[in-house]
Amino acid sequence: MESRILQLISALRASGVRVSLAESAEAFSAVDLMGIQDREQFRLSLRATLIKDVKDIPTFEKLFPLFFGSGQPPMMGGNPMDDMTPEEAQMLAEALRQLAENLRQRMERLMNGEPLTKSELEALGKLVGLNQADNLNYQNWMAQRMIRALAFPEVREALKELMEQLAQMGMSRGRIEQIRDMIQQNMRGMQEQINQFAGERIAENLSERPRSDNVDSLTNRPFHALSDADKKLLQREVKRLAAALRTRIALRQKHAKSGQLDPKATIRANLKYHGVPMEIRHKDRVRKPKIVVICDISTSMRFCSELMLSFLFALQGQVRKTHAFAFINHLEYISEDFNGSNADEAIASVLWRMPSGHYNTDLGWSLNDFNSEYMDTLNGQTTLIIVGDGRNNYNDPRLDIFSLMSRRAVRTIWLNPEPPALWHGDSDMPRYAPLCNNVLKVSNLRELAEAVDTLLAA
């Protein structure tokens, strides 16, 4: 049982669920307490201790039955020959004899209603390459292949023939249907058994797969080539970066003290001087960082917009006062989309709402939108982050608005996926760049990490 639980835990980890050592220890003490007699309580005690996120519950519910199957033998219909009259049995044997040899064996097998043995399942699995599969999405496909290997389609055809044969021989209609139902039920039982076996085996393979918690392998890969588990890893990394950035911004602003007297602190500090105010305390206002992010999600940026949006999402999770905007040819406020806790959904909803067209990027116009509606979000506490390639399709770059924005903000940071060498053509980057405090090249996770590190060092 213990090794089974450990296998479940490694399969969970392989599927991208983060399970710490403390949590797996916790799972064991919970199981000790609740016992394993009641399967439902057993499941709940594992779930409550191992899974700490709604998003991971479906993964758990999928894996759990694969490791702790219901333990019941597959539903088999029983043997139709048990209550047959000798004549009927005779007829059945006669009809069976008409079938080809291999089909007849299978048919008899189905009629006896005995499930597949372990070694038969193993052999079948080997035949279809089940041992190499370590993705649960392949469970159905693998099961289908095993069923085909068992020649089920042919058996179905043969079953029809058999029924016709029996009808010709004059067996009663009711009896024929009874035989058919039983055989079909047995087939379903076997299918279920195979499906369960395929799932179990894949889950086991999954749990044996070496852990690939290696962020490095992700950093240079294009975003669309990432699997779901990789994406989770990436989001975690991005979240870490956002947290680091937040701390940095907060630290930079913490030092700023206002001149206001703090009576409480002053009295307390001067108790030691018998109430004579010798030390004046000021209100040490911990200023909360504020961030305004404007993100380009036009066609030229699509390859990295998912990465950038997940960075924005993480940033908003870290810094409450984040105002996120996205633009193609006009500006939209997207912070509301980010209010849930599911990054994928939030990003999908933004990208769905703002589909990209061709050659319609207009940063100038978007800045104009910003100027007329959202300028008040920028003040002496705000860090302005622009994400985009600065390619403006020869539209007016509105440098006047941009310089106003950068003057209003404490700091202006531009994250650009293009290196300075490519800033020509319709790129207005050379003109925007002097107005920013930092311009950094970011097109994948590694560069994002470097950019955050640079900002931290600054």
Partner 1 sequence: MTTLFDSTKTVKAELSKQRYIASDEISTIVYLAYKLGKPLLAEGPAGVGKTELAKAIACATDRELIRLQCYEGLDESKALYEWEYSKQLLYTQLLRDKLNDTLGKAESLAEAADKLAGEEDVFFSNRFLLQRPLLKAILSERPTVLLIDEIDRADAEFEAFLLEVLSDFQVSVPELGTLIAKHRPLVILTSNNTRELSEALKRRCLYLFIDYPTLQEELAVVRLKVPDLNPKLAQQAVEFVQKLRKADMRKSPSISETLDWANALVALNASHLDKEVLEDTLSVLLKHEADLQKAKRQLMAPPPSPRPKPDEFGRFSGN
419 belongs to the binding site for partner 1 (CB under 8 A) = no
What is the DSSP code string of 59-87?
Answer: HHHHHHHHHS---PPP-----TTTT--HH
The correct pick among 172, 217, 341, 454 for binding partner 1 (CB under 8 A) is 341
40 belongs to the binding site for partner 1 (CB under 8 A) = yes
How far is residue 396's CA from residue 362's CA, in Å, rounded to a whole number? 8
The correct pick among 174, 275, 355, 425 for binding partner 1 (CB under 8 A) is 275
Which one, 344 or 426, has the nearer CB to partner 1? 344
340 belongs to the binding site for partner 1 (CB under 8 A) = yes
Which one, 98 or 247, has the nearer CB to partner 1? 247
| Total site size for partner 1, rule CB under 8 A | 34
267 belongs to the binding site for partner 1 (CB under 8 A) = yes
The correct pick among 44, 93, 123, 261 for binding partner 1 (CB under 8 A) is 44
Backbone Cα Rg of the chain? 33
How far is residue 398's CA from residue 437's CA, in Å, rounded to a whole number? 18
The closest alpha carbon to 125, from 210, 186, 202, 68, belongs to 202
How far is residue 288's CA from residue 274's CA, in Å, rounded to a whole number? 35
User: What residue type is 27 in one-letter code?
Assistant: A
412 belongs to the binding site for partner 1 (CB under 8 A) = no
The correct pick among 4, 148, 257, 268 for binding partner 1 (CB under 8 A) is 268
252 belongs to the binding site for partner 1 (CB under 8 A) = no
- Residue 244 has which token pair? 């680091």
For residue 198, how many other CB atoms are within 10 A of its CB?
Answer: 28
- Among the listed ranges 48-56, 97-105, 292-300, 383-391, the one in contact with partner 1 (CB under 8 A) is 48-56
Backbone angles phi, psi at 238, to 5 degrees: -60, -40
Mark residues 219-248: x for contact with partner 1 by CB under 8 A, - for none: --------------------x---x-----
52 belongs to the binding site for partner 1 (CB under 8 A) = yes
Strands 322-327 and 331-333: antiparallel
37 belongs to the binding site for partner 1 (CB under 8 A) = no
Is residue 454 a contact partner of residue 438, using CB atoms and an 8 Å limit? yes
How far is residue 341's CA from residue 278's CA, in Å, rounded to a whole number? 50
- Among the listed ranges 19-27, 109-117, 326-334, 360-368, the one in contact with partner 1 (CB under 8 A) is 19-27
Residue with tokens 């240079």: 220
The closest alpha carbon to 162, from 83, 228, 100, 86, belongs to 100
The CA distances from residue 425 to 49, 267, 324, 422, in Å, are 57, 64, 28, 8
CB of 206 to partner 1, least distance (A): 22
Q: Work out whether the CA dihedral 126, 131, 135, 139 comes out positive or negative.
A: positive
CB of 155 to partner 1, least distance (A): 40
CB of 239 to partner 1, least distance (A): 8
The correct pick among 29, 105, 112, 131 for binding partner 1 (CB under 8 A) is 29
The correct pick among 3, 119, 137, 339 for binding partner 1 (CB under 8 A) is 339
Which one, 46 or 76, has the nearer CB to partner 1? 46
How far is residue 40's CA from residue 45's CA, in Å, rounded to a whole number? 9
How far is residue 280's CA from residue 283's CA, in Å, rounded to a whole number? 10
Strands 290-296 and 382-387: parallel
Which one, 40 or 101, has the nearer CB to partner 1? 40
Which one, 18 or 411, has the nearer CB to partner 1? 18
Residues 305-324 that bind partner 1 (CB under 8 A): 317-318, 320
For residue 59, how many other CB atoms are within 10 A of its CB?
Answer: 19
List Cβ neighbours of 231 (8 Å cut-off, separation of 6 or more).
Answer: 344
- Among the listed ranges 128-136, 165-173, 334-342, 363-371, the one in contact with partner 1 (CB under 8 A) is 334-342
264 belongs to the binding site for partner 1 (CB under 8 A) = yes
33 belongs to the binding site for partner 1 (CB under 8 A) = yes
283 belongs to the binding site for partner 1 (CB under 8 A) = no
Residues in touch with partner 1 (CB under 8 A): 18, 20, 22-23, 26, 29-30, 33-34, 40-41, 44-45, 47-49, 51-54, 57, 239, 243, 264, 267-268, 271, 275, 317-318, 320, 339-341
